[in-house]
Amino acid sequence: MKRNKLWAIGALFVSGSALAYIAVGDLGENLVYYWSPTEMVAAKQKAVGATIRLGGLVEPGSLVPTGHTLNFRVTDGTTTVPVTTQEVPPQMFREGIGVVVEGTVDGAGQFTSKRMMVKHDNEYRAPTDGSTPSNAAMFGTMDEG
C-alpha cells in the first residue's frame, strides 16, 4: 500500500513539473510588446529584434507606396517611427488614421511590419426605409484623409 502511494505521489510530481515547464517555459520568447513610438524609441536595444505592436497615427503626408512596398510613419504626437511593409494594407488604411502594426525594429530604428490593423468606429447606421444609400456614403471612408 505504501509503495502505491509513493508511485502516485511521484507520478503527480512528474506530471505537475511537466505542466509547469510547458506553461512557463520559453515564455519570454513568446511575448509581444505593445508600445507607442515614444516608448519604443526609449527602449532602444530592448526593442531591436523583439516582436512589437506599435500603435499610433499614420502621419499625414508620409504614405509612400513603392512597387510592392508601402512606407509610412507612425506618430504619437511626440515621436515618429518609419515603417515599411510588403503586406496589403486593410481597405480603411489611410493617412491620419489610428493604426497598430506588428513586426520588428532594426538597430537604425526602421520598423518592418508583418501585420497591420486600423482603428475604426463600430457605428452602423442602417438606411431609412425607402431610401437608397449614395455611393459617397457607402465609400466615404475611402475618400477621407
Domain boundaries, the chain: 1-27, 31-118
The residue-averaged pLDDT of 30-54 equals 85
109 vs 143, higher pLDDT: 109
Sign of CA dihedral 16, 18, 22, 25: positive
- What confidence score (pLDDT) does residue 143 get? 44
Query: Residue written as cell 520588428?
Result: 104
Confidence of residue 22 (pLDDT cuts 50, 70, 90): confident
Does domain 31-118 fall under CATH 2.40.50.140? My reply is yes
- What confidence score (pLDDT) does residue 141 get? 47
| 56 has pLDDT over 70 | yes
pLDDT averaged over the chain? Answer: 82
